[in-house]
A and B are shown apart, each in its own frame.
Chain A
């Protein structure tokens, strides 16, 4: 249910907790104000009563009586209590018929449930001060706390009035955000369901607000893009594998079938078998190369990387390929005078560079040049393998790194077409970029490392 979802939502629960906190804090503040006001009020009344009683207790009875009468006459709100009792405790003058049960000590005393004079059942709380007169009588001065209680009530009411809308407002805001959040999550949830049901083109909604949910959605979308790309690649690789494996297998099968169908001599059969074996080997080479790519992809990680010298590796590769270049009448040169240090896997780097050189030698016609360079340029390691072959047309430069792609060049294309894919996979693993450009004439492959900081980042991500 949508409403239950909302109530469960974190935002709503947060709003509830927030409202509770605000209520407590506001009540606390009001209570403090109330306490200050009432105690100050009571203290002021007490001080006044004590002072007045002390001043007037010694006055003559007549004067006192007039003063008390005047006081009662002026007290329009009936808040004052005054009484003068004679030595026997009988009321001489005033509006308090009987002496309340307090000590006659000139101090202030709070009397609760004090019966209001002249009424049957009303009671009041009041502060009294009693003081004995020189003639043995008692002067009683008092003041009702009605005002103080009225203030207390006013404060409480103000609190209630102020608090209720605040709490409601906070709850409403909480509900609003919770509802919005859960609607957004519901949309994301629906999209995920779509994707799980096979709609791989679907993407999570991004609001562009850059909040937490947006960041997660954007990361998930990037991940989906990558998965899509890999799936596409896998699909085309699957097609290509099928094609590349089918042809040698079909030839092998035909040879064996032909050998069996003829009334062949042992010699014929041997020849057919040998041919078949050659083609099976070609299929095996392709499979081995594919396994190699996945081995590299699942291969060593940063933790096993060590400092390797790309210049030294280039020198080794040069030494290895020089005889082949000579045999193909190519001029193979090496330019790697200074060490080019990177963190990486020596064997894989050698493999990547070898594949580039292998490729260059394969596709450069006799009389051409192949050049291997290694250097640190602008703080970034660079290995460049350039040739003077026919080069790679701009529109094909993107595609050559795909698995199984082979540029048809002079009909000389051979091998499994995975060399550049392997090189690129290795480059990626090291946080390197493999690019191809025009060498005018020929192709120029560049294996370029990121600078130190981004290299660490790349390898950490992978």
Chain B
């Protein structure tokens, strides 16, 4: 099966956040990157909007007017609604994160966070719907065989170390999306923290050296102050 690069139609996002200012910030940031945003202020409103089904992704504050928002996710999951949810929370202990994910949240972001990080994760979530069982990935000139563990760029075979293969696979599953360093650390290396050194950048530049040879176009580009993007023209 093939997983193709997504089209540029951005999914609409439901934001459940009781803090007005933050909600507005999130709205304008998401709108700036092309999403339609729907705001809800409390649990009831949020649940109603989620059931109405207009949104493809939900961003939800863990604490809503002093109540635990995780109940919304649990309710939705019990109703068979599998809309991806990004939980944001001021609770920063590791246990809370685990509880948030167990309750059915798909990703977890701790305040204070960068709005770009939020946007990148919302986009990653909205496209996660893509097929996880694919055995071959193709993005632009890149082709990856997940069974044989081989990669080709056009006709050229690219030899990658296992860690480089994992990294490229992540990019190919999120084509044309901003991928932040934190996302790579969490999803590729299972690191729940940011190292102080530029170790991620070194991994990326090693990978780049192998997939871009000679005069070939750069496929993984830096996105200023955010992270990276596997960029291919549709």
A348 to B95, CA, bound (A): 12
Say if the beta carbon of B7 comes within 8 Å of chain A: no
Separation of A431 and B23 alpha carbons in the complex (Å): 42
Q: Are B197 and A358 in contact (CB under 8 A)?
A: yes
B199 touches A345 (CB 8 A): no
Stretch touching chain A among B37-45, B152-160, B187-195: B187-195
Q: Is the interface of B mostly helix, strand, loop or mixed?
A: loop
Closest to A277 in B: B225
| B78 within 8 Å of A (CB atoms) | no
B128 interface residue (CB < 8 Å to A): no
Q: Count of B residues near A, CB < 8 Å?
A: 26
CB pair B225 A284 closer than 8 Å: no
Chain A residue nearest in CB terms to B96? A295
A260 within 8 A of B: no
Neighbour of A324 across the interface among B190, B192, B197, CB < 8 A: B197
Report if B196 contacts A (CB, 8 A): yes
Tell me the bound Cα distance from A361 to B195 in angstroms: 12
A419: chain B residues at CB < 8 Å are: 196
* Known contacts A277-B225, A351-B192; A362 and B95 CB within 8 A of each other: no
Contact B94 A345 (CB under 8 A): yes
Binds B, one of A63-71, A169-177, A249-257, A298-306: A298-306
B95 touching A300, Cβ below 8 Å? yes
With A345-B94, A358-B196, A361-B197: A323-B190 Cβ-Cβ less than 8 Å: no
Give the residues in chain A near B198, CB-CB below 8 Å: 324
- B185 → chain A, closest Cβ, in Å? 9
Within the complex, the shortest CB–CB distance from B65 to chain A, in Å, comes to 24
- Find out whether the CB atom of B225 lies under 8 angstroms from the CB atom of A281: yes
Most chain B C-beta atoms within 10 Å of own C-beta, residue among A278, A298, A345, A355:
A298
Which residue on B lies nearest to A294, using beta carbons? B92
List chain B residues, Cβ under 8 A from A319. Answer: 163
Show 6 A/B contacts (Cβ-Cβ < 8 Å), sorted by A. Answer: A287-B112, A295-B94, A299-B93, A327-B205, A361-B197, A362-B196
Q: Which residues of A contact B (CB under 8 A)?
A: 274, 277-278, 281, 284-285, 287-288, 291-292, 294-296, 298-300, 304, 316, 319-321, 323-324, 327, 345, 347-348, 350-351, 354-355, 358, 361-362, 414-416, 419, 422
